[in-house]
Amino acid sequence: MSITDYKNDKERLDAKMAAEELERNNRAIFQQILEKHELLASHEGNFRMLVEYAGGTLTLGAVEFLLGNPPQNFTLQFTDEREKWLDAICELLEDPRERRMTAWDLKQERARMSFWTRSQLKARYDNLVEKRRLSKLSAGELKAQLANQRQQEKAANEWNGYPRLLSTIVPKYPVPERGWDTIRSVPTGDYIKHIARFDAALLKNFCRLYSSEQINFWLNQK
C-alpha cells in the first residue's frame, strides 16, 4: 500500500466519521426540537427539511428563527401524534383474556395517558416493547444481558458516556516502523502513543470518538 493510498483512505475515513458525527448531532437536536414543539411531525421529511434550511448543521436557534419567520413555499408538517402513540401503547397493553388488564382498565389507562406529552408516550411505548422482548428470553439470556448492561453502564460512567477502548486495538494499516508488519491487534496504549507522535489528525478523531480523558489515560500508561 502506497503513501498516497493511505492518505486517500484516511481522508475518506475521516470524512465518513465526520459525517456520522454530524448526523448524530443533528438527530439529537431534532429530538430536542420535537420535545419543545409537540405538534411538529417527527417524520424524516421534516428532519431533512430542517437540516437543509440550517445549511447542514441543525441548531435550535436556526429552527426557532424559521418557525418565527417561515419563508414562502417552505412548509413543515404539523400534527398531533399522540393518538398514534396511544393506539400503539394500547395495542401492547391489550389482553384478550383480560387477566392482566380488562377492557375497562385499558379504557381508563388510555384516558389517563391522553394528557401526556408525545415524549412521555414514546417513552412508555419503548418501555413496553423492551419488556415484551425481555419476556421472551431465557433466564440465562437475561443474566448475560444484565451483566453486559452493567458492564456498559460502568464504562459509560467511567468515560462520560463515550465508548470504552479495550486493552488491545487493531490498527487500520500496518505500522512497519513499530514492527507491526501485518494487520493484527496491538496494545492500545502503544498505538495511541504512536499516533500521538505521527498522526495528529487521527489522534484528534480518537479524542472526539473516545474522549480526551480516555485518550490521556492510555497515553499515561507505561
How many whole angstroms separate alpha carbon 108 and alpha carbon 114? 10
Q: 175: which strand partners?
A: 180
- Which tens digits make up the pLDDT trace of 89-129? 999 999 888 888 899 999 999 999 988 888 888 888 888 98
Residues 176-205 have a mean pLDDT of 77
Residue 159: Cβ-neighbour burial (10 angstroms; 0-12, 13-18, 19+): middle
pLDDT of 216 reads: 85
Residues 6+ apart with CB under 8 A from 50: 30, 33, 58, 62, 63, 66, 76
Angstrom distance (rounded) from CA 96 to CA 76:
40
pLDDT in tens, 32-72: 888 888 889 988 999 999 999 889 998 888 888 888 888 88
159 phi and psi, to 5 degrees? -115, 30
Confidence band, pLDDT 50/70/90 cuts, at residue 26 = confident
Which pLDDT belongs to residue 152?
61
How does residue 1 score in pLDDT terms, banded at 50, 70 and 90?
very low
Percent of the chain whose pLDDT exceeds 70: 84
